[in-house]
């Protein structure tokens, strides 16, 4: 289920097929059906559909009405995720898929999880594009101090999202000691940069390095080749709207394959991240309940809301643009 459209996904060889999970006959879900040579069969009254959604068999009837077809969606598998284009198929574009790190990528040690939210997906987008909350929601789990919340990251608008980067200094964390590659214990700082893309994809890199590195780069974007990297981590996260009040959140994360972190360390850190995401879920679902008491009431915006508002605005703009293009294409038809 994405944006209230039920979906059935299946593999045909290496190809992934995405169809509406709804038989044209009587709306039974095809996901209760059966994969067969040449398609999928609804197991209510036996309608069979080819991969393009056309009905190829109605038991006991030769005529196959044109209307007896199921909607299909452009779909791509990339970096361990399946990307379904829910809009006008003519406007689907693989280039819109943000660059993330797959679970099988040999350069990284990734772990993956997912959480279902009882909230509108834009509240989760808001959360992920404004990390101010880390100091309050995740003070324990991520060990962030309030000093972190008092600084603003750098923002760069992207065509379909926003880039957010900053240096995290030792005072931003309750624990800021790390072991360097040559075995010394040092105070670290980290360079954190992520792109947040439509409709809700986060691709974040966090590079830990000895305190003082930021100063060497005038607190700007560092030349990572010239940095004494203590640890280099990536996280991919995808906010998937199911209904107006349910959202599935996929996430993965881990360090470089060369990381000296033990598996149990990585497990522990990944589990801590999950606990933090559950903290977000608790807060956001409570927020959603309050919003639903009076949905039209305005928010009071702050300087930390620039990125969240950029994403909301882009979604509204691109949705409108896609509709206009579809309408234009339709009216241009002979």
Q: Which is nearer to a second copy, 226 or 300 (CB)?
A: 300
List 264, 290, 296, 331, residue binding a second copy (CB under 8 A): 290
List 99, 114, 151, 258, residue binding a second copy (CB under 8 A): 151
Q: Which is nearer to a second copy, 92 or 291 (CB)?
A: 291
Size of residue set near a second copy by CB under 8 A: 52
List 263, 300, 331, 333, residue binding a second copy (CB under 8 A): 300
Residues contacting residue 80 through CB under 8 Å, at least 6 positions apart: 102, 103, 104, 110, 112, 252
Site string for a second copy, 303-322 (x = CB under 8 A): xx------------------
List 13, 14, 37, 59, residue binding a second copy (CB under 8 A): 59
SS3 sequence of the chain: CECCECEEEEEECCEEEEEECCCCCCCCCHHHCEEECCEEECCCCCCEECCCCEEEEECCECCCCCCCECCEECEEEECCEEEECCCCHHHCCHHHCCCCCCCCCCCECCEEEEEEECCCHHHHHHHHCCHHHHHHHCCCCCCECHHHHCCCCEEEEECCEEEEEEEECHHHECCCEEECCCCCEEEEEEEEEEEEECCCEEEEEEEEEECCHHHHCCCCCCCHHHCCCCEEEEEEEEEEEEECCEEEEEEEEEEECCCCCCHHHHHHHHHHHHHHHHHHHHHHHHHHHHHHHCCCCCCCCCHHHHHHHHHHHHHHHHHHHHHHHHHHHHHCCC
Interactions with a second copy, residue window 6-25 (CB under 8 A): 6, 21-22, 24-25
Does the protein bind a second copy through residue 174 (CB under 8 A)? no
Q: Which is nearer to a second copy, 6 or 210 (CB)?
A: 6
Does the protein bind a second copy through residue 126 (CB under 8 A)? yes
Give the Cα separation of 321 and 79 in Å (integer): 28
CB of residue 242 to a second copy, shortest distance in Å: 12
Does the protein bind a second copy through residue 72 (CB under 8 A)? no
Q: Which is nearer to a second copy, 165 or 270 (CB)?
A: 165
CB of residue 59 to a second copy, shortest distance in Å: 4
- Output the furthest CA–CA distance in the chain (Å, rounded): 77
List 13, 14, 37, 60, residue binding a second copy (CB under 8 A): 60
Does the protein bind a second copy through residue 124 (CB under 8 A)? no
List 44, 85, 96, 217, residue binding a second copy (CB under 8 A): 44
Interactions with a second copy, residue window 226-245 (CB under 8 A): none
List 37, 67, 226, 262, residue binding a second copy (CB under 8 A): 67
CB 249 within 8 Å of CB 117: yes
Does the protein bind a second copy through residue 58 (CB under 8 A)? yes
Q: Identify which of 111, 152, 112, 146 has the alpha carbon closest to the alpha carbon of residue 129.
A: 152
Q: Which stretch binds a second copy (CB under 8 A): 73-81, 167-175, 191-199, 293-301?
A: 293-301
Give the footprint of a second copy on this chain (CB under 8 A). 4-6, 21-22, 24-29, 32, 41-46, 58-61, 65, 67-68, 126, 130, 132-133, 135-137, 146, 149-152, 282-283, 286-287, 290-291, 293, 297-304
């Amino acid at each position: 289920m994405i944006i209230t459209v039920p979906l059935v996904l299946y593999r045909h060889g290496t190809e992934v097929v995405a169809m509406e999970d709804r038989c044209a006959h009587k709306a039974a879900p095809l996901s209760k059906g059966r994969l067969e040579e040449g398609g999928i069969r609804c197991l209510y009254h036996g309608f069979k559909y080819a991969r393009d959604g056309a009905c190829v068999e109605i038991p006991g009837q030769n005529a196959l009405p044109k209307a007896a077809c199921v909607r299909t969606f452009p779909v791509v598998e990339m970096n361990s995720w399946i990307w379904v284009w829910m809009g006008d198929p003519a406007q689907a574009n693989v280039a819109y898929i943000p660059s993330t790190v797959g679970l099988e990528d040999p350069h990284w040690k990734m772990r993956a999880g997912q959480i279902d939210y009882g909230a509108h997906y834009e509240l989760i987008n808001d959360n992920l594009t404004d990390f101010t909350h880390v100091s309050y929601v995740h003070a324990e789990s991520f060990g962030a101090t309030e000093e972190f919340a008092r600084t603003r990251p750098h923002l760069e608008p992207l065509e379909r999202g926003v880039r957010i980067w900053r240096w995290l200094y030792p005072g931003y964390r309750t624990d800021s000691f790390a072991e360097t590659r040559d075995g010394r214990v040092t105070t670290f700082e980290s360079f954190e940069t992520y792109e947040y893309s439509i409709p809700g994809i986060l691709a974040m890199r966090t590079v830990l390095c000895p305190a003082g590195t930021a100063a060497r780069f005038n607190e700007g974007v560092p030349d990572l080749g010239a940095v004494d990297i203590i640890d280099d981590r990536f996280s991919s996260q995808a906010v998937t709207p199911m209904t107006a009040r349910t959202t599935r959140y996929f996430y993965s994360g881990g360090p470089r394959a060369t990381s000296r972190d033990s598996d149990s360390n990585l497990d522990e850190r990944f589990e801590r991240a999950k606990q933090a995401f559950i903290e977000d879920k608790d807060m956001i679902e409570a927020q959603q309940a309050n919003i639903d008491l009076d949905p039209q009431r305005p928010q009071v915006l702050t300087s930390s809301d620039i990125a969240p508002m950029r994403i909301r605005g882009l979604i509204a703009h691109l949705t409108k643009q896609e509709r206009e293009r579809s309408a234009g294409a339709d009216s241009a038809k002979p």
